[in-house]
């Protein structure tokens, strides 16, 4: 999105600059190069209806400020939308023998699920730090994983580990998330000495 935005800004600046150069060097037949930037006609047009001009300027300024705010917000938005809601498990329908105890609902906090996944991922020696994000509906959330691994990590084994973690998570929570992205980062370390 930023790339498109800056391409458009670049084109607008390029066209504006080239037009200015052409006008200033007298190559545009409909513009007199001796004309001043703020011509008396423009000033007259402003003065003819000063109240409306000022009102338009105020509205324009507020619109520009709003655009700026939206652009700022877009830069700080997190990927994948809001985190998954807490998991709500209704009482099981299986008939129980004997006197029925009071059955309640079970709630699993979304934060608890996040933490469980993170801990399980970090149980592997090759993973130094794991960050997980579950988003979307609780019955079928999307999962984003970021792993910081040791400098000599074997990525095929990491993939195995992630698979096993997902299986364990499904067994314990009953939720099978869509693994939408696993990003592996290998932090830099000092170059190895040549033997």
Place of tokens 């970090």: 122
Considering only residues 116-175, where is the footprint of other proteins by CB under 8 A?
Answer: 151-152, 154-156, 158-160, 162-163
Considering only residues 75-94, where is the footprint of other proteins by CB under 8 A?
Answer: 75
Of 12 and 89, which CB lies nearer to other proteins in the complex structure?
12
Q: How far apart are CA 168 and CA 164, in angstroms?
A: 6
Closest CA to 110 of 146, 135, 76: 135
Cβ proximity of 87 and 108 under 8 Å: yes
Q: How far apart are CA 166 and CA 180, in angstroms?
A: 12
- Residue 116: CB minimum distance to other proteins, A: 21
Does 17 help bind other proteins (rule: CB under 8 A)?
yes
Does 27 help bind other proteins (rule: CB under 8 A)?
no
Does 66 help bind other proteins (rule: CB under 8 A)?
yes
- Residue 21: CB minimum distance to other proteins, A: 5
């Amino acid at each position: 999105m930023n790339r498109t935005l800056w391409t458009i800004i670049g084109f607008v600046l390029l066209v504006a600059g080239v037009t200015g150069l052409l006008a200033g060097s007298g190559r545009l037949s409909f513009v007199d190069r001796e004309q001043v930037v703020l011509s008396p006609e423009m000033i007259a047009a402003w003065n003819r209806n000063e109240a409306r001009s000022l009102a338009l300027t105020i509205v324009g300024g507020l619109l520009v400020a709003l655009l700026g705010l939206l652009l700022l917000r877009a830069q700080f938005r997190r990927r994948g939308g809001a985190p998954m809601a807490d998991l709500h498990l209704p009482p099981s329908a299986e008939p129980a023998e004997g006197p029925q105890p009071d059955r309640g609902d079970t709630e699993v906090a979304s934060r608890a699920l996040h933490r469980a996944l993170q801990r399980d991922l970090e149980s592997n020696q090759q993973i130094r730090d794991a960050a997980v994000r579950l988003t979307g509906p609780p019955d079928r959330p999307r999962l984003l994983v970021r792993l910081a691994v040791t400098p000599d990590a074997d990525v095929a084994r990491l993939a195995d580990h992630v698979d096993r973690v997902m299986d364990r998570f499904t067994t314990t929570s009953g939720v099978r998330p869509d693994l939408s992205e696993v990003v592996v980062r290998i932090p830099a370390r000092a170059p190895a000495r040549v033997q």
